[in-house]
Chain A
Amino acid sequence: TQLLEQSPQFLSIQEGENLTVYCNSSSVFSSLQWYRQEPGEGPVLLVTVVTGGEVKKLKRLTFQFGDARKDSSLHITAAQPGDTGLYLCAGRIYNQGGKLIFGQGTELSVKP
């Protein structure tokens, strides 16, 4: 059974602070995605990382894929209240018909 351990599950910080969310697995993924979900809505894709060691930046968000393609991190610099939401990592399994394995999610609350 493939598992993707995401931590922390809950994070409450002040505006302007930095934070990092981690996703770890013993499985190798063909790619890893990060989604953000607002209350009452479906997840929306933020980024896909494909190559081991890859780093992608999206404004104040930095995403990294581990060299062995088993782990990933999301770093937010100078968090803002608008960053509040549920962040989900999802690993794509090789040759399993588009199947995504999701982490447990990180509920981020950024207080002004």
Chain B
Amino acid sequence: DTAVSQTPKYLVTQMGNDKSIKCEQNLGHDTMYWYKQDSKKFLKIMFSYNNKELIINETVPNRFSPKSPDKAHLNLHINSLELGDSAVYFCASSQDLAYNEQFFGPGTRLTVL
């Protein structure tokens, strides 16, 4: 009965590889987000989707491509991984764009070697 789930929890890969992180929410929310948390614990928004439509694209390199097959899922695909992509990636959801509270997933720790 997890509200926002992400897979995998840990991802270790080589530079240059392509990888995906999956996110699902069972809260019936309209809006979903991807955040990146760096080694200093700074959390920064990357993307948001509302009803499968891209709303925020926060100057993220185009190697990062979010995909929302339906309202309950927002996946993140990363091409040509670089060392600087190492971070914890969090998926979140909110009822809609106007609703304040965001519910976060447990995070995916990505390590690029």
Contact = CB atoms under 8 A, between A and B. Distances in A.
A73 to B, nearest CB: 19
A62 interface: no
A102 B56 contact: no
B43 A43 contact: yes
A40 B41 CA distance: 12
Most B CB contacts (10 A, CB to CB) among A98, A99, A104, A105 go to A98
Interface of B: 4, 31, 33, 40-45, 48, 50, 55-56, 58, 90, 92, 94, 96-107
23 contacts: A40-B107, A42-B105, A43-B90, A45-B101, A48-B100, A96-B56, A97-B48, A97-B50, A97-B56, A97-B97, A98-B50, A98-B94, A98-B97, A98-B99, A98-B102, A99-B45, A99-B56, A100-B45, A100-B102, A102-B43, A104-B42, A105-B41, A107-B41
B88 to A, nearest CB: 9
A15 to B, nearest CB: 23
Most buried by B among A42, A100, A102, A107: A42
A104 B48 contact: no
Given A97-B48, A98-B94, A41 B107 contact: yes
A98 B107 contact: no
Q: Which 7 A-B pairs have the closest CB atoms?
A: A42-B104, A97-B55, A102-B43, A98-B97, A105-B41, A48-B100, A45-B101
A72 interface: no
A74 to B, nearest CB: 16
Contacts of B92: 42
B42 A99 contact: no
Nearest to B3: A42
Contact of B40 (A31, A37, A41, A104): A104
B56 A48 contact: no
B94 A86 contact: no
A33 B43 CA distance: 14
Given A96-B56, A98-B55, A33 B101 contact: yes
